[in-house]
Structure 1
Amino acid sequence: MEFAFILLAFACGFGAKLLGLPTLIGYLAAGFVLNYLGFESTDNLQNLANLGITLMLFSIGLKLNVQDLLKKEVWLGSISHTLLWVTVVNLTLTALTYFGLSVFADLDFYTHCLLAFSLSFSSTVCIVKILEESGEIRTRHGKLAIGVLVMQDIVAVLFLVIATGKAPTVWAPLLIVLFFIKPLWAKILEIVGHGELLVLTGFMLALGGYQLFELVGIKGDLGALVIGMIIATHVKSAEMSKALMSFKDLFLIGFFLTIGFSALPTLDLLITALLLCLFIPIKFVIFFKLFLMLKLRARTSYLASLVLSNYSEFGLIVVALLVSLGWLAAHWLVIFALAVSFSFVVTGLVYKTSHNQYTRYKEALKHFEKPVRLKEDIYVQPAGAQIIVVGLGRVGKGAYSSLNSMVGGKVWGMDADPIRIRRLKEQGFQAMVGDGEDVDLWENMDLSNIELVLLALPSIEDICNITEQLKHANYIGKIASIARYEDEIQPLLDAGSDKVFNFFTEAGMGFAEESLRLLPTINTVEKD
């Protein structure tokens, strides 16, 4: 039976890929098809889904800075959105009941509030997957979206405690000890090395945090998130996150399949779910207006609001609880599962062209900005730069060091991760925080003296987007980019790169050339 799940998940995911859609849409479709064909979810599939969510939250923790949660745009934006959303949706549902829509006729005021509350959450699984696939999880808008999701998770845990009457045990305060044994975590990570033991350590920490929080009566997923946050400052946190990524993505396929197994819809339930999806633009508008009021830039507000405009898998948990308590009829679980699925599809499709959307409408959107800029949103001018290296991972950092040894202070580095930039500055790098896909950044930068931009990024989509933004900013210099695979070279050239280097081929050639210098007696063959 599990083979049938894998086969159909592959077929639907592959089909979505061919159509240019996010693969998660294919996995959602596979779940509904399997349900229609009479298959049922298994314990193994559910365990894989749960493991995927746990690893995902642990991975979020590894990339999360606690100080980000203390920013006003995160905690105040999240709480304000929940209150405004519940008010607006509750009034709308009441109006729909007044106009005689039968599906809402049996719901009273308090049930409307609870249903609106269930719809207020955004999907951690969907959003993180979209941001990771687009390489934007460490960007300004990506970190803002993740911060809002974490705040929503905290609210979710509090709600479950109140609704179920299940309070944490008297041992829960002892969890504070986890922060004081941080040096122990650091020592363990230093010893485990870089191989399979590092991956096993990640599993141990994620599942250990889950079980520990469950033992004291707190939602286990929150434990995985907290443990990740504790070790996030360690130098190996990024390496561990990358090592766990494939496992996490594979297990999360089980989660998307389980949504399809939740129930089969009737036409009435399908229409109701689509009706609930009509509220998604309202969610976007509320987020967008709130972020602007909190002095965020229009681009940051637009992209963060766009990716947050969906419904959450946690809403299924809330609705299931309301059904078990007799506050909602059982068919609402089907409606909500459909609405969540549809919202994933909407976000996946709409966010795919988000940067081009902003470029098209940015003049209108920027009219809503506040004149005062937050500290993180003030542009830095790379003084004296003639070369900019975008993306300061291993490849970009190596490129920067080589160029710096040749041209000195004429080279600057740029990366969207402020923590990485801070560390590199301490090492003497000329580096600035910046998202290369931000057309505002390029348009506000003096590009007249910039002769070369190197795009050392892992995602071909990111490189193509940045090339497009440079064109919009009237950049006339040269662009060089990195390709990981042979079939990526031509698309990058077509997008506007003047030179594309195959990462593995060029690394091999460089390795060979450097090694030959050890043998000066060997004559090299001159090419014609």
Structure 2
Amino acid sequence: MESALFTEISLVVVVAFAVASVVRMLKQPLIIAYIISGLLLGPYLLDVIQSQELLSAVSHLGVALLLFIIGLKLNPKEIKAVGQPAATIGVGQVLITTIFGYLFAQTFGYAPTAAIYIALAMTLSSTIVILKIISDKQDTDKLYAKISIGFLLVQDIIAAGLLVFVSSVGSSQSMVLAITQSLVQLTAVGSVLAIIAYFILPKLSGFLARSQEYLFIFALAWGLGVSALVAMTGLSLEVGALLAGVLLSTQMYAKEISNRLRPLRDFFILFFFITLGSGLSLHVLGTVLVPAVGFSLFVLVGNPLIVMALARYFGYTKRTSFKAAMTAGQVSEFSLIFILLASELGQVSEQVVSLVTLTTLITIAGSTYMMRYDETLYKQIAPWLDRLRWESGYQEGNMSASPEIYLFGYARHGRRFAQFFTNQHINFAVVDYNPEKITQLKENDITRIYGDITDPEFMSDIHATHADVVISTINDFRVNLHLVRHLKNKNEDIVIVAYSEYPDEAAKLYESGASYVIMPHFLGGDKVLSMLENRPIDEESFRPQRDEHLRFLQDRLEKTNK
């Protein structure tokens, strides 16, 4: 018996690896491989899976770990930092997709209850897929990625509410009474656990974090224990797992727990997708093929259009709006958990589960290519995007005339420069893509522009090359190098002050055309401020200090290399 079970699990993993190898060569997410593996191993094809109950239990562990890790990222501080645009885009996209998705489902003949579940499943985008591709493209610090991560966070919060909703309506009571009872139970259990999480665990943080192995087993005990406790109250273990993560999200070791649990999550979630795939019937898949293709087009085209329109409303450039929109064109793994839970509670049929699963496969495959080749797609359809242009007062302050100085970055030295320019009555504008910084600038009545300086279209829109001086206090060498080269290519006479912490990077910035480089450990912003007091401000006035600083850096680098 034990030998047969071991052989079965081993065969499942080997087949999953083989299919994953093919899927990886096609540059597709492994979720697709796991579901296809389940379909191959299921009763309708190879019929290898015999221990269905055991694999189902293991798959629930994967779901619990997945939701626990998602909960760890729902830190109230990070939610607050999302900003109005990303929050509105997230909520707006979910609402609009739900309305049109419901109407679309009814055109295919689905009953109202099934239609609302299908519509809700189509609203959520895949956090795993989006973050993986953004990371692979090394775009994590780009503005479009910040927007995408922001509305994904909002979607995760909405998804948590959906889990509570589906757990409640699965009871025999009236919907209002069931939801009220569930919220009361969740509040009662959550309040007790919150007292432990916020008042007791912080005092034990040093003891818990001292040993990595002990922290690991504590995280498992907390996540699975809270899940089981919440499940005992009548709610689903999925709600419990998410709650467990949220309660630990403010702890100093939350990220460490998330990183250590991720490999374990990936292993157990493999069995969730395989179990899901094994339950698919080729006959049922055939009956939902047409609506699945229809919904796939709806998600691949409709969701990006909604996100793009909302992003343009907030004043983002065509390019930033388009790239953020491309990340929204797939159905989430969260949707699969949601629809499977609804099926287990008798709310939807096997046909609806097959529809959502097939749509998930198609949209993840399609959107993966859309995200990877978004630049190529953008060049093809950019001329048509002007039709989605709406103006908003959010992006810019009152810029009555072209600024004399552009200040990129409001953190660190940026505040000192802004204060100096304000005191000197210099016409300047601050560029940043941190919503909190934009809010601070607005409160201080400082002209501000919200945007990504690595976006050529954005730089063209704000006419940065027309300024006398551009100062970057951003602590990112690649961004500063891009900025210097872009501006010098457009205007050789412009004065550019960049920021660097390392001599070799500062030397490269000088070689690319920087007028001066701020180095906090050698020459700080005070030197630049003293030079800015002298008028006129031009390239020649910076040249003596630039040449002196460059010789100093070259001498230092030569001594270091000896």
Q: What is the TM-score when the length of structure 2 is the normalising length?
A: 0.61
| TM-align CA RMSD | 4.9
The CA deviation string for residues 402-441 of structure 1, in whole angstroms up to 9 with x for no partner, is xxxxxxxxxxxxx99999xxxxxxxxxxxxx998976678
**What is the one-letter code of the residue matched to 1:52?**
G
- Find the aligned partners of 2:25 and 2:480 in 1 and give their Cα distance: 24
Residue 147 of structure 1 is matched in structure 2 by: 154
The change in CA–CA distance for 1:238 and 1:315 in structure 2 (over 3 A counts) is closer
CA contact (8 A) 2:114 2:347 kept: yes
- 2:204 is the alignment partner of 1:188: yes
CA contact (8 A) 1:270 1:335 kept: yes
Q: CA deviation at 1:154?
A: 0.7
Q: CA deviation at 1:364?
A: 6.0
1:58 corresponds, among 28, 48, 68, to 68
1:370 corresponds, among 365, 383, 391, to 391
**Bigger Cα displacement from structure 2, 208-217 vs 157-166:** 157-166
Q: CA deviation at 1:117?
A: 3.7
Q: CA deviation at 1:11?
A: 1.6
The CA deviation string for residues 15-35 of structure 1, in whole angstroms up to 9 with x for no partner, is 222333333333333222223
Equivalence map 1:166-205=2 (5 Å)? 167-168=181-182, 171-174=185-188, 175-181=190-196, 182-191=198-207, 192-205=209-222
2:10 corresponds, among 3, 8, 15, to 3
Q: CA deviation at 1:57?
A: 2.2
Q: CA deviation at 1:211?
A: 1.7
Residue 278 of structure 1 is matched in structure 2 by: 297
Residue 518 of structure 2 is matched in structure 1 by: none
The change in CA–CA distance for 1:472 and 1:368 in structure 2 (over 3 A counts) is farther
Q: How many residue pairs align between the two structures?
A: 430
- Find the aligned partners of 2:311 and 2:63 in 1 and give their Cα distance: 28
**What is the one-letter code of the residue matched to 1:84?**
I
Q: CA deviation at 1:297?
A: 6.3
The change in CA–CA distance for 1:467 and 1:353 in structure 2 (over 3 A counts) is farther
The change in CA–CA distance for 1:92 and 1:418 in structure 2 (over 3 A counts) is closer
Equivalence map 1:75-474=2 (5 Å)? 77-95=89-107, 104=109, 107-108=110-111, 111-123=114-126, 126-127=129-130, 136=140, 139-164=146-171, 165=173, 167-168=181-182, 171-174=185-188, 175-181=190-196, 182-191=198-207, 192-266=209-283, 267-280=286-299, 281-293=301-313, 301-313=321-333, 315-316=335-336, 330-354=350-374, 357=377, 365=385, 368=389, 370-373=391-394, 381-382=407-408, 473=486
- Find the aligned partners of 2:89 and 2:409 in 1 and give their Cα distance: 35
Local SS of the residue matching 1:311: coil
Local SS of the residue matching 1:54: helix
The change in CA–CA distance for 1:369 and 1:152 in structure 2 (over 3 A counts) is farther
- Find the aligned partners of 1:472 and 1:95 in 2 and give their Cα distance: 54
- Find the aligned partners of 1:23 and 1:453 in 2 and give their Cα distance: 36
Unmatched 5+ stretches in structure 2 = 1-7, 397-405, 414-431, 437-449, 490-495, 497-511, 513-560
**What is the one-letter code of the residue matched to 1:173?**
T
Residue 39 of structure 1 is matched in structure 2 by: 48
The change in CA–CA distance for 1:293 and 1:333 in structure 2 (over 3 A counts) is same
Q: What is the TM-score when the length of structure 1 is the normalising length?
A: 0.64
CA contact (8 A) 1:45 1:254 kept: yes
CA contact (8 A) 1:13 1:27 kept: yes
CA contact (8 A) 1:53 1:125 kept: no
The change in CA–CA distance for 1:90 and 1:222 in structure 2 (over 3 A counts) is closer
- Find the aligned partners of 2:409 and 2:314 in 1 and give their Cα distance: 30
CA contact (8 A) 2:170 2:342 kept: no
The change in CA–CA distance for 1:154 and 1:439 in structure 2 (over 3 A counts) is farther
**What is the one-letter code of the residue matched to 1:116?**
A
CA contact (8 A) 1:31 1:258 kept: yes
The change in CA–CA distance for 1:193 and 1:242 in structure 2 (over 3 A counts) is same
Residue 519 of structure 2 is matched in structure 1 by: none
- Find the aligned partners of 1:160 and 1:321 in 2 and give their Cα distance: 8
Local SS of the residue matching 1:168: helix
Q: Choose 1 or 2 for highest CA Rg.
A: 2
Q: CA deviation at 1:200?
A: 1.5
- Find the aligned partners of 1:223 and 1:24 in 2 and give their Cα distance: 24
The CA deviation string for residues 428-478 of structure 1, in whole angstroms up to 9 with x for no partner, is xxxxx998976678777979989999979xxxxxx9xx899779956889x
**What is the one-letter code of the residue matched to 1:339?**
T
Residue 426 of structure 2 is matched in structure 1 by: none
CA contact (8 A) 1:58 1:206 kept: yes
- Find the aligned partners of 1:207 and 1:193 in 2 and give their Cα distance: 22
**What is the one-letter code of the residue matched to 1:151?**
I
CA contact (8 A) 2:162 2:338 kept: no
Local SS of the residue matching 2:330: coil
The CA deviation string for residues 31-88 of structure 1, in whole angstroms up to 9 with x for no partner, is 2222332223633433333222222222222222325556655665555444433432
CA contact (8 A) 1:77 1:148 kept: no
